[in-house]
Amino acid sequence: MPPRHLLFVNARNVTQPVFVIGAPHSGAEAVGRALKASAGFHVTIGQQAVLQAVYGFARRPSLYSGRGDAAAAVMRDAFAQGWQIGPASCLACAPQCRAAAGLREGEVGPCTEQRGLTRFGDASPDLSYCAEALIAAFPDAMIVQVVRDGRDTVAAMLTDQVAMSWFRPSVVNIETEFPNPFYGVEEDADRLLWPSLTGAGKCALRWRGAIRLAARLRRTLADDQLKTLRYEDMARNPGAAATALSEFTGSPIAAPVTAPAKRPRAEAPDWRRTLSYSQLGEVEKVAGEELRRLGYRG
């Protein structure tokens, strides 16, 4: 068993924190909001201190290699800072975290009460890409990973300026950091293919990278430490998702809300309406094998 490190935040010992991971636009944030709305939980989404550590290790895996203990300490310190509760603590929170708490712009005050607080968690973007460092930091962590049709995640990423900003030539670091799970570049063939891909293909690589990391995580963690949810199932039956989350965490969890309003059942998925034939061809070329392995077909 790995050594256990005590972490006290707001005078409470952090045990079995719940982390929600998934590819970009997989629905992880919806689960994070559900946890945040549940009694006894303090869940953050996009705290600056956490994001700095996450992207530090996610984009530069060489920082973690051979430095497991030091990296774990950095992760614990980041969450110790991000989970602090104070009179003005939420003023520095990310917009999605404040929105999940129901706070208005400029509103002062913490998003949760310390009284009754028993559990901590986080659903920050791109946690998937530093899962190894996360588990090293919190060996008793409980992980909820959300899987979604890669074509829908690609369609959503293409409309997300923040997600697309990672593909700027001045930002991409696949030459200096290789392999690079953050970009889904794991083999020389991926690195050679990268310059010819459009945004859709690069988004598909990132989705594929997160899915492969999730598969490796599944092989290393026991069922009582890792729960996998499918986005489409959550959208279809949020009550069942709430039950699954409640049984997994041992606490009553609210039902995840995946969209502001349900689309008509007969309406085609987003990717059928938004991705062109050429974009679908690139997604198939890059991630077709993973799509079929997960049961996502035409």
| pLDDT of the residue at 150 | 97
Q: What is the pLDDT of residues 211-267, one digit of tens each?
A: 999 999 999 999 999 999 999 999 999 999 999 999 999 999 999 998 654 454 444
Same domain, 239 and 203: no
Residues 49 and 24 grouped into a single domain: yes
130 in the same domain as 52:
yes
CA dihedral 29, 226, 61, 75 (to 10 degrees): 70
Task: Examine the domain organization and report whether 203 and 91 are in the same domain.
Answer: no
Same domain, 17 and 44: yes
CA distances from 269 to 30, 33, 137, 199 (A): 18, 23, 38, 20
Residue 143 and residue 158 in one domain: no
> For residue 179, is the peptide bond before it cis, meaning its omega torsion is within 30 degrees of 0?
yes
Gap between the Cα atoms of 63 and 66, Å rounded: 8
**Shared-domain flag, residues 7 and 124:** yes
Residues 47 and 175 reside in one and the same domain: no
213 lies in the same domain as 89: no
At 146, phi and psi to the nearest 5? -110, 130
* Beta-sheet pairing, 8-9 with 12-13: antiparallel
Report the alpha-carbon distance of residue 44 to residue 144 in Å, rounded: 15
Would you call 152 helix, strand, or coil by DSSP?
helix
Q: How many CA atoms lie within 13 A of 63 on its CB side?
A: 16
Q: What is the pLDDT of residues 7-55, one digit of tens each?
A: 888 888 899 999 999 999 999 999 999 999 999 999 999 988 999 999 9
Label residue 280 by pLDDT band (50, 70, 90). Answer: very high
pLDDT level of residue 108 (50, 70, 90 thresholds): low
Please check whether residue 18 is in contact with residue 119, taking contact to mean a CB–CB distance below 8 angstroms.
yes
- Say yes or no: 98 and 192 in one domain: no
Q: What is the pTM of this model?
A: 0.92
- What pLDDT sits at residue 214? 93
Containing domain of residue 119, as a range?
1-148+222-259
**Statement to judge: residues 115 and 62 lie in one domain:** yes
Report pLDDT digits (tens) over 109-155: 677 777 788 899 999 999 999 998 899 999 999 999 999 999 999 99
Whole-angstrom distance, CA of residue 61 vs CA of residue 190: 17
Give the list of residues 6+ apart from residue 54 with CB closer than 8 angstroms, or none: 78, 124, 125, 126, 127, 129, 130
Q: Which of 129-142 are b and which e, b meaning 16 or more Cβ less than 10 Å from the residue's Cβ? A: bbbbbbbbbbeebb
Does one domain contain both 53 and 140? yes
Give the number of domains in the chain: 2
